[in-house]
Amino acid sequence: MRTSVALIAAAITGASFAVPIYIPLAAQSASLVYRLGNDTVAVEQFTRTPTSMNGEMVQRNGAAVVRYQYSLVIGRDGRPTAATIKRMNADGSIAPNTPTETRFTVRADSIVREAVFADSVQRRAFAAKQALINFPVFVYGPVELLAALRKAGTPTDSIPALALAGGLGFAGFAVSGDTLRLRGGAYAMVLRFDTNSRLQQLDGSGTTNKVIATRSAAAVNIAAMASAMKPTGILSVREDVRAAFGPGGMVVVDYGRPSVRERTVWGGTLVPLDSVWRAGANDATHLFTTRTLTMGSLTLPPGMYSLWVQHTRNGTFLIVNKQTGQWGTQYDASQDVGKVQMQLTDVPSHVEVFALTVKALGPTRGALEMAWGPSVASVQFGVGSSTAR
């Protein structure tokens, strides 16, 4: 009989309570296509049976195309009892000086990871009860097991989990209404499952990953895709822009340049309303000035600052912050110098790659412009006569 994951109230003779029973899902195959805007950055395919799960993923990330193969043995309680992960080059070969595969063995009170090399096996055990495995980014098929456990009544907010490398972490869901957000992985993806705990969609738009993945029943040829894929290169290149204001006077901004990729910008997917945006990509955007700057009511002595943008229904604001050297998601409002309203206007033509410009409007006046998508946000500033010492 074909069965699905279900929560069954099993009558226990002489007991006054019901015990949830895990019923394994029938065999199924699926693929997940991960897109960054209009660009496909990864494809995953997996097959799940009542006792096993096997899958493969290919991703084009940075300078390389990488493939992962994975397999799990599923116990009667729906938890993995063993797993194997293999990282390969696009052509299926193993990169030099890397494991040919990594094996996991899950025991009642521990989990063992073995990195298998051509001439040796590196083994390490971790104390953890009923642990799970955290898989590499773009391998999300196995979260179906976590969803099935949740449906069967198992607490899934924080389960011990071991990753491909590194120490023991956790896996779980943060639940808010109908929203399930992944905890413990590299990115807090929002997940959507059907009534049988089958993963239908992943949404990373609220993370630095930004990908959206959708499910398909169509079979794909991962090896053929890998041979045809081209590396993405650096998705958001870093650039410095500057303007000069007399001898020794300079204003420099260092920032990352993300692309629109057919997504909505101001008040949309990329710069959501009321959120604090890093004004670029990756590392925080930094401003360096050798002169005192005035922006509205703000006075910025010579030095370095980080810049942030908040787009609201009541206007678009530039936030200047004293914290520097941080990643672009590490915003600390307690270190704000202040904020100043920007002018948001339409641009003559679509700006695909975010462009930040520092303009000298004279020896004592300048402007900062941020153009992206259909609009440009700008603010003018005054430049003092003294330079940093």
Coil, strand or helix at 225: helix
Residue 20 located in a structural domain: no
Query: How far, CA to CA in Å, does 227 sit from each of 64, 70, 82, 93, 105?
Result: 11, 19, 30, 12, 32
**What is the spatial distance between Cα 112 and Cα 152, in angstroms, rounded to a whole number?**
26
* Pair 245, 366: CB distance under 8 Å: yes
Is the pLDDT at 17 greater than 70? The verdict is no
Lowest mean pLDDT among 32-36, 37-41, 139-143, 360-364: 37-41
- 104 and 247 fall within a common domain: no
**Which of 12-21, 183-192, 194-203, 308-317 comes out lowest in average pLDDT?**
12-21
Task: Specify the pTM.
Answer: 0.73
Note the pLDDT tens digit of each residue in 26-53: 558 899 999 988 888 999 999 999 999 9
Model confidence at 386, in pLDDT bands (50, 70, 90)? low
**DSSP strands (E only) in 37-158:** 39-48, 52-61, 64-74, 80-89, 101-106, 110-116, 121-127, 132-134
Domain that holds residue 148: 26-228
Q: Which DSSP category does 25 fall into?
A: P
Count: domains in the chain: 2
Alpha helices, H only, the chain? 143-151, 222-228
* pLDDT tier at 10, thresholds 50, 70, 90: very low
Last residue of a domain, one of 202, 228, 254: 228
Residues 182 and 59 in one domain: yes
Pair type for strands 179-183 and 168-176: antiparallel
CA gap 167, 190 in Å, rounded: 24
Q: Which of 175, 173, 176 lies closest to 158 in space, CA to CA?
A: 173
Whether pLDDT at 134 is above 70: yes
Cα–Cα–Cα angle for 130, 135, 140, rounded to 5 degrees: 105
Tell me: the pLDDT tens digits for 205-238? 888 788 999 999 888 899 999 988 887 766 678 9
**Whether residue 215 sits in one domain with residue 311:** no
Please state whether beta strands 18-19 and 168-176 pair in parallel, antiparallel, or not at all (unpaired).
Answer: unpaired
**202 and 334 both lie in a single domain:** no
- The model's confidence at residue 2, banded by pLDDT at 50, 70 and 90, is very low
Looking at the fold, whether 270 and 358 belong to one and the same domain comes out as yes
In a domain, 41, yes or no: yes
Residue at which a domain ends, from 207, 228, 249: 228
Indicate if 33 and 135 belong to the same structural domain.
yes
Question: Is residue 16 assigned to a domain?
Answer: no
Q: Are 78 and 177 in a shared domain?
A: yes
Please give the radius of gyration of the chain, using alpha carbons only, rounded to the nearest integer: 25
2: Cβ contacts below 8 Å, ≥ 6 apart: 26
Last residue of a domain, one of 228, 249, 278: 228
Percent of the chain with pLDDT over 70: 91
Please calculate the CA angle 111-112-118 and round it to the nearest 5 degrees: 160
Condensed to tens digits (0 to 9), the pLDDT of residues 148-189 reads 999 999 999 999 999 998 889 999 999 988 889 999 988 999
Q: Closest by alpha carbon to 279, among 314, 247, 305?
A: 305
Q: Are residues 62 and 204 in the same domain?
A: yes
Assess if residue 18 is contained within a domain.
no
Q: Are 218 and 358 within one domain?
A: no
CB 20 within 8 A of CB 7: yes
